Amino acid sequence: MTSYLLRRILWLIPVTLVVAGLTFVLMHNAPGGPWDRDPSAKQVDPATQKKLEEYYGLNKPLWRQFMAYIIGDVNPKGKFICGLVCGNLGPSYRIRGVSIQDYLFKPPKGKNFFYSRFGYSMRLGFLAIVFAVAVGIPLGVVSALKQNTLIDYISLFIATIGVSVPNFVIAIFLIIIFATGLRWVSIVPKSWEDISAWLLPAAVLGFGTLARTTRLTRASMLEVSRMDYIRTARGKGLAERVVILRHMLKNSLIPVVTFLGPALAFLVTGAFIIESMFGFPGMGRAYVTAIQQRDYSMIMGTTLLLAILVAIGNLSVDLVYVMLDPRIRLEE
């Protein structure tokens, strides 16, 4: 187990480098730059832009800029600034005097980590995944046990909507119903201290995951229910509750866990559109703003963070496999 974990952790290094390289190339091939409103409208004069590029090293060859971001480089004052290998995600090109790690992970004065931008996104993502699992798995189980009944058709209808309709479209309908029509919630709340303000964004964010979880759970439960060992368990006279919970559900969760591992990482860091629609002070909203402003370091830092979280999610899935099915063994 230890050697397996060590190998998987070491694999994060080449994965991070590949993601960083692809992101770097795509960013620098996009039109415009950090100090442009758009490719045709300059925000700063050419002399100032030249000085800014010299200060941030953007006038150097691309390969050297990439190496400076990963390993580090000497700044104009002759001081060596360590790069990604030291946990430095670089300075923001749009917010003066602020590093990306401080912008994403540093909370306001007097607040704890959960009030940072990453903390807000993390809490919203966990609420979304709890909502998806708490509703999706029971709905899929009931749908499989009541196959071809009204309950099954309703759950399949909900799952189909969640899979086929984009979450921002669902967000618009829920805002119209619950915020504009019923006035149960505010579209953009005055404060995010109230937990009720989180319910609508979390439900919208987790609805697609809920739908896929329901479909996976239903399909897996139907497949497992036809296995020989299920018929044997029932033939031994075991209670139906024991057969469902101990034998059917436990083995049916393997494909669900496979999906939920990476899904959690995307829910934590990938709520770009939803955070923008609800004015949520999280990392996804900052990422959308960074793309609009060509803030290269912000784009790189957020993308790398997402890649690392997805890799950790996949590793967590492998570990949960062993808990669900003892026949699965991790190679030493």
User: Could you report the per-residue pLDDT of 13-42, keeping only the tens digit for each?
Assistant: 888 889 889 988 888 887 777 776 554 445
Of 36-40, 213-217, 268-272, 294-298, the one with minimum mean pLDDT is: 36-40
Separation of alpha carbons 51 and 328, rounded Å: 59
Q: 106 in a domain, yes or no?
A: no
Q: Residue range 93-118: average pLDDT?
A: 86
Q: What is the pLDDT of residue 138?
A: 92
Q: 93 in a domain, yes or no?
A: no
Give yes or no for a contact between 287 and 299, defined as CB atoms under 8 angstroms apart.
yes
Task: Verify that 43 and 190 share a domain, yes or no.
Answer: no
Task: Verify that 38 and 170 share a domain, yes or no.
Answer: no
Task: Verify that 131 and 177 share a domain, yes or no.
Answer: yes
Q: What is the pLDDT of residue 233?
A: 83
Residue ending a domain, among 88, 105, 137, is 88
Convert the pLDDT of each residue in 152-204 to its tens digit.
999 999 889 988 888 888 888 888 888 788 877 777 777 788 777 888 888 88
| CATH code at position 263 | 1.10.3720.10
Q: Residue range 259-275: average pLDDT?
A: 76
Residue ending a domain, among 88, 121, 146, is 88
Q: 168 in a domain, yes or no?
A: yes
The 3-state secondary structure of the chain reads: CHHHHHHHHHHHHHHHHHHHHHHHHHHHHCCCCCCEEECCEECCCHHHHHHHHHHHCCCCCHHHHHHHHHCEEECCCCCEEECHHHCCCCECCCCCCCEHHHHHHCCCCCCCHHHCHHHHHHHHHHHHHHHHHHHHHHHHHHHHHCCCCHHHHHHHHHHHHHHHCCHHHHHHHHHHHHHHHCCCCCCCCCCCCCCHHHHHHHHHHHHHHHHHHHHHHHHHHHHHHCCHHHHHHHHCCCCHHHHHHHHHHHHHHHHHHHHHHHHHHHHHHCCHHHHHHHCCCCHHHHHHHHHHHCCHHHHHHHHHHHHHHHHHHHHHHHHHHHHHCCCCCCCC
- Paired tokens of 217: 């759970």
pTM: predicted TM-score of the whole model, two decimal places = 0.81
Q: Residue range 75-91: average pLDDT?
A: 83
Q: Count the domains in the chain.
A: 2
Task: Verify that 168 and 219 share a domain, yes or no.
Answer: yes
277 vs 124 pLDDT, higher one:
124
Work out the end-to-end distance of the chain between its first and last CA atoms, rounded to an integer number of angstroms: 6
Given a cut of 90, whether residue 261 has pLDDT beyond it is no
Q: What is the pLDDT of residue 142?
A: 92
Separation of alpha carbons 50 and 233, rounded Å: 75
Q: 329 in a domain, yes or no?
A: no
Domain assignment of residue 49, given as a range: 15-88
Task: Verify that 81 and 118 share a domain, yes or no.
Answer: no
Task: Verify that 117 and 83 share a domain, yes or no.
Answer: no
Task: Verify that 238 and 294 share a domain, yes or no.
Answer: yes
Q: 150 in a domain, yes or no?
A: yes
- Paired tokens of 329: 């063994």
Q: 253 in a domain, yes or no?
A: yes
- Paired tokens of 313: 């999610």
Q: 256 in a domain, yes or no?
A: yes
Q: What is the pLDDT of residue 87?
A: 84
Give yes or no for a contact between 298 and 92, defined as CB atoms under 8 angstroms apart.
yes
Task: Verify that 58 and 138 share a domain, yes or no.
Answer: no
Given a cut of 90, whether residue 134 has pLDDT beyond it is yes
Task: Verify that 205 and 320 share a domain, yes or no.
Answer: yes
Give yes or no for a contact between 162 and 253, defined as CB atoms under 8 angstroms apart.
no
Q: What angle do CA 301, 188, 184 make, to 5 degrees?
A: 135
Nearest residue to 85 via CA among 96, 75, 70: 70
Q: 107 in a domain, yes or no?
A: no
